[in-house]
Each structure stands twice: as structure tokens, then as C-alpha cells.
Structure 1
Amino acid sequence: MASNTIEKNTTNNLGPSRPLRIVQVAPDYYPIPPLNYGGIERVVYTLTEELVKLGHDVYLYAPKGSQCSAKIINYEHTIPNPQSIADFVQNTLPDNVDIIHDHTHASIVGLKRLPVPTICTIHACRNNPVDYPVYLSKRTLEVAGKNHGFFVHNGINLNEYEFSDTKDDYLLFLGVLDWHKGIKESIDVAEKTNHKLIIAGPIFNYEYYNKEIAPRIKNNPKLQYIGEVGGQQKQDLFKKAKCFLFPTCCEEPFGLVMIEAMACGTPVLAFHNGAVPEVMKGFPDLVCSSVDEMVLKLNMNQFPKSKLLREYVEKNFSSTVMAEEYLKLYNKVLTEEVNYNYGDKLQETGNFSEAIEYYEQFLSFAELSKMHKIKICNKLTDLYFNLKNLDKERKFIFKSFEYGPPRAEFCCKLGYQFLQNNELDKAIFWFELATKLEKPKEILYESCWTWLPFIQLCVCYYRTGDVKKSYENNELALKLNPNNEMIISNKKFLEGIFKK
């Protein structure tokens, strides 16, 4: 991603050979590793163990009862609460941390924007509005992330999955018993092929389960619900199943159970939703569009050899592959942070032309987050303003609109340009827009979101001859900044006009 120039500036600072001090932040629902259900927790555990094995200094924030090779920092709260995670991490973060890896459901640590680079893996198919968002598949990066961010596939430790090419005559469903995971469709397939179906997993939506699933299990002895499973019981179910069913009915972000089943040598039949075709790329014939297609393929009973399924997972979805991809990402992010700071140093030392060239080059990096690009646009507009190149300043003001809705900082800059040219209607438009925008979580200049646009509107309306509106806007500015001498002086001046 980086150009030769940038690499030259950073190769002495960072590199994959340097052990990193990494903080992993797990959700607060289940211990690490989970006893039964808990796909996110299982991935966090696997990644953490692999990073420690590779020689990195790893800290893990996790609920009490967690066990792993990293240094564990247990949450103090017992009731799941994302904000408690964020506050606790902020207050207890170890010294000299290189990077934080946030796995929480809402990327709550990443949203705090601590002074340590933070990547955030969202284990769902929804947008991740942080500086360094990571999705579980290319598909989810495109659909939810709109191609802003990164993707890293999940991986598993193959040593924890027993292989068998000898199968029993039952189908397996393992997951949450809810509509979006395709439990109803799995039952349809089993009944249409007259197969035994073992159903394992938690129930969260009891209304759906009691209405749609429980009656069918009760009326069909070949449907067997055994609750949540883990450990050896889960291993035995995976490795002995004739086929694992995954008719997911949602925009699946990854589907860890598919690679778990294949690691045990068990074929998977899955619906063509979300990341399924991406994960099953090596066996496209196992991806189905309907229950009837699953039924047809089960009846044909022509599945890949168990050995090939295992080898496919070893090559593409092992814990080693996952850890190596994350390490590449960690180093890329750390390099970007160094590059960003390098541009700041050029600016601070008065090398404005070099700083501009550097920032413009940096802005072209496709994988930078939207917020990062907005910040770079802001730096470029400041630089061009200082150089009195208003055309270029305006270019990067409008460029910032490509990465998000208009922000008050850029509206004020545009308004000021028009005010300087005495184009008062245009100036008023942009300053008034700045007063109406919803304040984002991360702002660049506080004054632009509070008093500054009102004082500029005071000037604009005074020049148009509308002293009343000029005074009203000055009063609004005064409420937000009551000790500002300029605003106080304006008040006295305008009140003097009224007395005349």
C-alpha cells in the first residue's frame, strides 16, 4: 500500500521482525475460551494464543474465568456493558502498547480513539465507523464497509479439530436456533431426505423457537435437539456427521462453523448468502440456492473427499494464516501512524511544500479510514490557506465531502473564503450550514462547532446592512463564548448603533 517514499521514511521504525506489545479486547459475555457457544470468543482465543506463540507480548482483556497464554486483565464488571469495557481499558491500559485490537460488538474501544492505534474487528455484517475497521470477509467489507477498511478471514487451530473420514448417517445443525441461521430450512432438508438431524446450539429467541421449531422436533423422532455443546462432544458431532447444514438466511459475515466442520473432514452444504461463497470458494458445488438444491445434493451423495476438505482449511483458514494476516495489518497501521506523524513534523518545521506533497500522496491510500482522510484534507486546507492558495484550499474542502457529510470546520473555511471576496450570500449559506450540522463524535476544531460561525454571521449580516440579524448572531456567539473580547466588543458596538 505504501509508496517507496513512505517506506523509506519508516523501514527503520517498524517491521514484522520486531516483537509487538499487543492488547486484545474481548467481549464481556463469555470467558476466553468459551465453554460452549461463543464464536467471537473462540477466534479471540485462537488469535491470542498464536500471537504469543509467535513471540509477541500480548495482553488480553476478558471476563473472569478466562485462561490463555497471554497476560490476562479481567474485567471488574460482571453484567455485560460495552461502556464499562471502554472505560476500564482506558484506565488500565499497560504502558508502551504498540496496538490495540478491539473485538467488542460495537467497537467501543475504537470509538474512544485512545492515543494508541486501534484496529476493530466487527464480527457482524454492519458498518464499523472507526479509524481502522476490519471485517471478516471481502464481501462484508464491500457490503457493510463500503470498501473502507480491511478484511481478515477467521482461522482455527487445526490441532483442536479431530479428523475422520468415517461418517455416521446423520446431518448436523450447530448454531443459534433462530430464523437467520436457517434452523427451519435445516429441518426441511432433513425431513425431505428422511435423515436424522442433530440440532445443537443456544436458544435466544424463545418466541420463534416455541412457535416454529419446538413443535416440529416434538412430532419427529428423527429431529434431536441436544442443547449447547462444546469440547469433545462438539468434536464428535462434527467429525462423525454425514453432512453439516448451514442454510444461513442472513448476510453472513463469515461462518466459522463451516471451516470447523471441514477441518473435521465433514462436507458442508450452505446457502449462497453473505460470505458463504467466499469461504467455500474451494468447493463451489457445495453452495446452494434453495432447500430443494440441498436435498438434491444430499440424495446424490457426491461430496469431496474428507482429506481435501481438511487440507483446504489448513491452507486457507488456519490460526497461523489468520495471525500472519493480522500481523501484516498491525504493521501497516503502525506504519501509517508513523507516516501521519512524519507529515506533521514536516509542517511543524516549516517545510510546507514537502508536507503538502506528503499528505497528498498519503491521501491516495485506498485503505485509509474515512476519518483519517478527513483529517488529512483538513491539514491540506490549512497548509494551502497559509500559502494563500485558495483554489487548492477549496479543492480539498470539497474533497473532504467524499468521505462523509459536510463538517463545520470545512463549512467555516468555505464561508470565510466567500466573506473575504464579499460574496455575502454564499458566505452566509456556509456559515449557517455550520450551525445546523449534527456534531460528530470526533471534531477537529471545537470553535467551528460552537461560537465561530455565529460571529462570522454577525460580520456577514452587518455588511449586508441587517444590523438586527448581526446583533442576534453575536448574541448567540456570546452565549457560547461569554469571555471572548471580540464578541463583547461587537455587542457594545452594535448596541451603540441601536441607541442612535
Structure 2
Amino acid sequence: MHILIASKSVIPAIKYGGIERVIWYLGKELIRLGHRVTYLVNTGSRCPFTEIIIFDPNKTLASQIPDGIDFVHISYFENDPLEEVNVPYISSVQVNFYDDRKLDVNTVFVSRNHANRFGSDVFVYNGMEWEDYGTVQLDNQRSYFHFLADAAWSVKNVRGAIKTIKKTTHDSLHVLGGKRLNFNKGFRLTLSTRAKFHGMVGGGHKHSLIQGSKGLVFPVIWHEPFGIAITESLYYGCPVFGTPYGSLSELIPEDVGFLSASSSELALAIENVEDYSRKRCYEYARDQFSSAVMTKNYLAFYERVLNGEQLNQNQPTLVNTSEDRKLPWS
């Protein structure tokens, strides 16, 4: 099958870029399974393992689908008339919306919670090609906890992560994805000596920092659609200490982490981090959130569409349009 993966992203991801990594690994796995893959992506993209076409923002997606394509995997194109696409397709959505827009009937979300909030039950968990993540060291000495997200984004709640760590006896936090002084998306100056900021990091440097961590502190205050930071951290043997919002309740069973909207309760759990098995965290992420599992699940939805099925009975739309954009935290 010749599959076109269409995204307004630039591939590959250099440091951060969850969508970029997802479609990169999806394409590699589809090729490994014997399919032909072409990417339709933004200028600046490159790919050593298959063909790319540069997306023209002045044209519709439908007009840029080349001849001979059997299926299109669309990474959400906002305001693009998908009804003009005359090839079987799905539209995968990785983000939150807070308005009453109607999504395509063949929309696929990235977690059960994400789908349910839009009146759907159609989802595929994101998966990484773990071979790219190097050797996992589960018996090494670890001396701090980490936060992994764009710290300038208030819903990721780096302030809450630092507040939580300061309630522990002596633990420290390494912030991967932010600076101590931030003017982006609002002023923030963090004075605590128990927080170390590494800025935006990626690749091997990011991986080595996670491998030195006892656990991920992830107190998001929105409904996280998925959270690649969660699965990456688990893969390196880090239990997750977060809030019970969005995908977290389904991604983090009690044997690999602890969830609470209370910084005091999270701090207490962090003090007992040795109760969690690094090996269990690693094996759980390896087995459940690989690119092979993700691709298999997407292929099942491709097959349903190719057989003439509509994935969602109605166009998905946000069930509760008055949903709080920032959720309770103390």
C-alpha cells in the first residue's frame, strides 16, 4: 500500500517535537512492514529513508495528493476542506481545542480521555522507536528528579513541579525545557536553588539527563492529550508523579507512578520513590508505547476506512465547551 503522511510540520524533530517524531517513526515502521511511504511536509524537511514532497500553503491538501496514493494519514490540517480528499484517509489529532468546531468523522485521537472529551472512542497511543533511545541503565546512581516540557507553557506547571520538590526533605529538580528567567508567555523568575534549568535539550543529552533522574514530576493543570514526556521517562526507568488529568490516569497505573492534584501528596510519594521498580517502568513503556504497537493500531483503522467504514458515527466535537483550561492544583 502506498501511504501519504501529510503534516504541516518540519521533519525530523531536532530537540522537541512530539508530532514530528510520531510521524517519523510511523513512516519508518510502515516501510519496515512492506508499505511504501511518502511524506507531504513543510519546507526545511529532509528524510533519508523515503521520498518527501514540500507542502504548498497556498494550495489545499487535496490538490497536493500525488497520483497512486492508496491512503492518506493526515496530521490535523486546520481549515482545510478534507471533504475534497478523494482518497481514503484518517485525520489524527494531537492537541486540545476549546471551541465548538466539528472534526472530521475519520478523526483519531491520542488517548481514551482525549477521544471521550470529544464524544469519540477512536484513539491510538503515540509510540516511539525505542532503538533510537540508546542503552537503558536501570542500576545507575540517580540523584535528582526531572520536569520535561516547555516550561514557558503555564499548563505544564513548572511552578507546581518546583513547589512539589521544595516540600520534600532534600530532593532537587532538573528542568528540561526551560530557563530560570523567562519572558515568553508571561514573566517568570525562579529563585529556588533546588531547581536547575537546562533550557531546551534533545537527543542524547536529554536522554542522559533523564537517565540520571529518579522520576518525572509532571503536575499538568490541563487535560493532557497524551504526553510523550511520560512514556520517554518511563522507558528510562523513571516513575511518574503527576496530576490525574487527561491521559495521565490511563497511562500511569499505580505500579509506575502516583497521581494527585496536591503538591503535598505528590511530595510524600516522591519521598518514597524507592517503592517503584525501574525495571517495571521500563518494560511497561517498552511493551505498550512502541512505534510498532502504534503502527499496528493505526493500520487497523486504515483497514476499517478502506472497507468503507466511518470511524466516528458523528463528527467529533468538544462535549463540554465550558471546560476549564486550567484545572485545580494546590
> Do both share a fold (TM > 0.5)?
yes
CA positional deviation for 1:273: 0.3
Q: Say if 2:24 is the partner of 1:45.
A: yes
Q: What letter is aligned with 1:188?
A: K
**More strand by proportion, 1 or 2?**
2
Q: Say if 2:137 is the partner of 1:164.
A: yes
Q: Say if 2:20 is the partner of 1:21.
A: no
Q: Say if 2:150 is the partner of 1:176.
A: yes
What is the rounded CA distance, in whole Å, between the counterparts of 2:22 and 2:274 in structure 1? 31
CA positional deviation for 1:58: 0.7
Q: Say if 2:249 is the partner of 1:270.
A: no
What is the rounded CA distance, in whole Å, between the counterparts of 1:315 and 1:93 in structure 2? 34
Q: Is the 8 A contact 2:114 2:247 kept in 1?
A: yes
Whichever of the two has the greater Rg, that structure is: 1
Deviations 1:466-500 (A, max 9, x none): xxxxxxxxxxxxxxxxxxxxxxxxxxxxxxxxxxx
Task: Show the counterpart of 1:55.
Answer: 34
Any gaps of 5 or more consecutive residues in structure 2?
Answer: 317-330
Q: What letter is aligned with 2:114?
A: T
Aligned positions, number: 306
CA positional deviation for 1:336: 1.5
**More helix by proportion, 1 or 2?**
1
What is the rounded CA distance, in whole Å, between the counterparts of 1:295 and 1:47 in structure 2? 37
Q: Is the 8 A contact 2:239 2:276 kept in 1?
A: yes
What is the rounded CA distance, in whole Å, between the counterparts of 1:281 and 1:129 in structure 2? 30
Task: Show the counterpart of 1:300.
Answer: 272
Q: What letter is aligned with 1:256?
A: I
Task: Show the counterpart of 1:453.
Answer: none
Any gaps of 5 or more consecutive residues in structure 1?
Answer: 1-19, 77-83, 338-364, 373-500
Q: After the TM superposition, which residues 4-403 of structure 1 pair with which residues of structure 2 at under 5 Å, given as runs?
A: 20-28=1-9, 31-63=10-42, 64-76=44-56, 84=57, 87=59, 89-104=61-76, 106=78, 108-109=79-80, 111-126=82-97, 129-143=103-117, 145-147=118-120, 150-161=122-133, 162-165=135-138, 166-177=140-151, 178-193=153-168, 194-201=170-177, 206=183, 208-210=185-187, 213-214=188-189, 216=190, 219-281=191-253, 283=255, 285-336=257-308, 367-370=311-314
Deviations 1:9-29 (A, max 9, x none): xxxxxxxxxxx111111223x
What is the rounded CA distance, in whole Å, between the counterparts of 1:202 and 1:61 in structure 2? 31
Q: Label 1:198 to 1:110 Cα distance change in 2 as closer, same or farther (>3 A).
A: farther
SS in 2 for 1:336: coil
SS in 1 for 2:305: helix
Q: Is the 8 A contact 1:102 1:110 kept in 2?
A: no
SS in 1 for 2:173: strand
CA positional deviation for 1:105: 5.7
What is the rounded CA distance, in whole Å, between the counterparts of 1:242 and 1:164 in structure 2? 12
Identity %: 26
What is the rounded CA distance, in whole Å, between the counterparts of 2:313 and 2:105 in structure 1? 5
Task: Show the counterpart of 1:412.
Answer: none
TM-score, normalising length from structure 1? Answer: 0.57
Q: Which moved more, 1:260-269 or 1:193-202?
A: 193-202
CA positional deviation for 1:321: 0.3
Deviations 1:209-263 (A, max 9, x none): 52xx32x2xx223322221111110110111111111111101111111000011
Q: What letter is aligned with 2:183?
A: Y
Q: Is the 8 A contact 1:140 1:275 kept in 2?
A: yes
Q: Is the 8 A contact 2:240 2:257 kept in 1?
A: no
